[in-house]
């Protein structure tokens, strides 16, 4: 009898706990309330709403024994420190870097204690994002290298997978698509082959789509990874992402009915422009292109507002496919200028960081050699980009001439057929 009462009590407590965790993070609902408040206020440095909510999160987590909610408190602390450090003047960087590292180390330690290793590696991502946003490329790469070395030393497959994912994001932001492709391929392949439950729990639809974007627009490789991404849909944003790319491919394939259907699905989603900045502008340009109304003269200002490199590259290819050569050439030139500016900016950031760490004098010969190597690489990449742009323009010109010749031949054949037809009638 006592055993039955005890079993019933355990079932009741388990059911109560399940009801109390009705949120995406699977934490106590009261903890989730404070966590949501803290997340909403983490970027607002003008009030102390974050501090109040995050402290309430910690106290509630401790009183209810919710270890995951307790870990999320330290996630919030690192996010808050990162936001404050990013807003601080560059002259105070020496003060904020140790604060970020301290918050990162604290989150890493707590996540190990509470048994949530995903936040251990997330601490490295947040720190790396801080370094990237404060133009400290070398420090950011050093952080990721430390993360990879730790994962390898512990033979932690999930840690190595996460590190490759973060590194691919870093190269994507630097517009180094060739290197990003190398890491994204490893991320996707590892997810397909692993038995690690932590990795399998993660969605890779975004990584599949990002990998597709490293290939030429609408190429077989791009289409393959879009399809793979669709098969791996796990989140609502995954569905939105796939619809976004399906609309682009449908327009490229002149499947106007499908294009409009997927476009409308995207535009109806209230989160669309928060996930795809200027995605609505891209669709407006595509609509005009399909209707034969897009022109460089009238729509230049709208074309210039396109935010993502992927959007510019796609529209350049699509305009060429629809024979709107002035728009295609202009977008290619914009891409070239953007990439060249990105290379120059990254080069300056790295040299600035070296100067900040070692003073204004490059006394170390190795640093001087690295500086010269960066300059050579920049010049080489700029030359390659110029050659690629010239090649694209030459291909466009040759293709246009070929189309004109083919058109003339078709017209001559039509005239000849009509002539024979009239003779036969007589």
Extract the tokens encoding 210. 């990002």
Kindly report, as residue ranges, where domains of CATH 1.25.40 are found in the chain. Answer: 23-155
pLDDT confidence of residue 413: 67
Which pLDDT does position 418 carry in this prediction?
Answer: 66
- Mean pLDDT over 206-218 rounds to 96
Helix (H, G, I), strand (E, B) or coil at 57: helix
DSSP H or E run through 281: helix 279-290
d(CA 226, CA 215): 11
**356 vs 47, more confident:** 47
CA distance 397 to 410: 20
- pLDDT of 224 > 60? The answer is yes
Assess contact for 16 and 7: CB atoms under 8 A: no
Q: Of 43 and 387, which is predicted with more confidence? A: 43
DSSP assignment, residue 276?
S
Lowest mean pLDDT among 45-49, 251-255, 380-384: 380-384
Name the average pLDDT for the chain.
84
Q: What is the mean pLDDT of residues 53-80?
A: 97
For residue 114, pLDDT over 70 is answered with yes
What's the predicted TM-score (pTM) here?
A: 0.68
Q: What letter would DSSP give residue 94?
A: H
What Rg value do the Cα atoms of the chain yield, rounded?
27
How large a percentage of the chain has pLDDT more than 90? 58
Of 14-23, 230-239, 344-353, the range with the highest mean pLDDT is 230-239
**Is domain 23-155 given the CATH code 1.10.287 in the classification?**
no
* Average pLDDT of span 128-136: 88
HSE value, Cβ hemisphere, 13 Å, CA-based, for 338: 20
Would you state the pLDDT for residue 19?
42
pLDDT at 298 over 50: yes
- For 329-373, the pLDDT digits (tens) are 998 888 776 666 555 555 555 545 444 444 433 344 444 555 555
More confident residue, 265 or 11: 265
Q: What is the pLDDT of residue 249?
A: 98
Residue 157 has a pLDDT of 94
Query: In whole angstroms, what is the distance from residue 269 CA to residue 76 CA?
Result: 28
**35/42 Cα distance (integer angstroms):** 10
pLDDT at position 361: 39
Residue 57 has pLDDT above 60, yes or no: yes
Dump strand ranges (E) for 185-311.
none
Between residues 281 and 415, which one has the greater pLDDT?
281
Contact status, residue 356 vs residue 289, Cβ threshold 8 Å: no
Judged against a pLDDT cut of 80, whether residue 71 lies above it is answered with yes
Report d(CA 180, CA 177) in Å as an integer. Answer: 5
Identify whether the C-beta of residue 31 lies closer than 8 Å to the C-beta of residue 55: no
Residue 3: predicted pLDDT: 41
CB contact at 8 A, 154 and 135: no
Q: Among 16-25, 45-54, 81-90, 202-211, where is mean pLDDT lowest?
A: 16-25
Residue 241's closest CA among 219, 270, 272? 272
Query: How far apart (Å, rounded) are the C-alpha atoms in residues 289 and 314?
Result: 13
What pLDDT score was predicted for residue 144? 85
372-422 confidence digits (pLDDT tens): 555 566 666 666 666 766 766 676 676 667 666 766 766 676 666 666 656
Burial of 371 (0-12, 13-18, 19+ CB in 10 A): middle
Q: For 139-182, how does the pLDDT look when each residue is reduced to its tens digit (9 = 90+)? A: 888 888 888 998 999 899 999 999 999 889 888 887 888 899 99
| pLDDT value for 171 | 85
């Amino acid at each position: 009898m006592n055993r039955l009462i005890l079993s019933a009590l355990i079932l009741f407590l388990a059911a109560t706990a399940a009801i109390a965790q009705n949120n995406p993070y699977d934490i106590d609902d009261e903890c989730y309330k404070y966590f949501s408040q803290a997340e909403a206020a983490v970027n607002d440095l003008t009030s102390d709403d974050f501090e109040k909510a995050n402290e309430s999160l910690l106290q509630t987590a401790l009183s209810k024994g919710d270890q995951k909610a307790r870990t999320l408190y330290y996630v919030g602390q690192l996010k808050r420190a990162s936001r404050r450090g990013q807003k601080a003047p560059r002259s105070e960087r020496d003060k904020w870097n140790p604060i970020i590292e301290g918050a990162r180390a604290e989150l890493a330690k707590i996540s190990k204690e509470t048994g949530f290793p995903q936040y251990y590696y997330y601490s490295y991502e947040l720190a790396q994002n801080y370094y990237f946003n404060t133009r400290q490329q070398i420090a950011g790469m050093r952080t990721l290298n430390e993360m990879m070395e730790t994962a390898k030393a512990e033979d932690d497959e999930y840690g190595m997978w996460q590190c490759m994912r973060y590194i691919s994001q870093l190269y994507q932001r630097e517009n180094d698509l060739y290197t990003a492709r190398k890491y994204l391929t490893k991320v996707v392949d590892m997810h397909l082959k692993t038995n690690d439950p932590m990795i399998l729990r993660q969605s890779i639809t975004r990584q599949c789509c990002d990998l597709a974007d490293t290939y030429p627009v609408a190429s077989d490789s791009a289409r393959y990874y879009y399809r793979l991404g669709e098969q791996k849909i796990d989140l609502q944003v995954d569905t939105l992402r796939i619809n976004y790319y399906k609309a682009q491919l449908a327009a490229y394939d002149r499947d106007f009915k499908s294009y409009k259907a997927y476009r409308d699905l995207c535009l109806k989603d209230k989160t669309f422009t928060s996930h795809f900045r200027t995605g609505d502008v891209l669709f407006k340009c595509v609509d005009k292109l399909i209707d034969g109304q897009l022109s460089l003269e009238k729509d230049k200002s709208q074309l210039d507002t396109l935010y993502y490199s992927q959007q510019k590259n796609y529209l350049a290819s699509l305009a060429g496919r629809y024979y709107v050569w002035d728009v295609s050439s202009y977008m290619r030139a914009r891409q070239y200028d953007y990439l060249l500016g990105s290379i120059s900016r990254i080069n300056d950031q790295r040299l600035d960081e070296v100067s900040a760490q070692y003073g204004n004098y490059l006394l170390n010969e190795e640093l001087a050699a690295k500086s010269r190597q960066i300059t050579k690489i920049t010049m080489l990449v700029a030359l390659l980009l110029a050659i690629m742009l010239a090649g694209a323009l030459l291909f466009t010109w040759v293709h246009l001439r070929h189309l004109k010749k083919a058109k003339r031949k078709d017209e001559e054949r039509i005239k000849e057929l009509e002539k024979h037809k009239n003779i036969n009638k007589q």
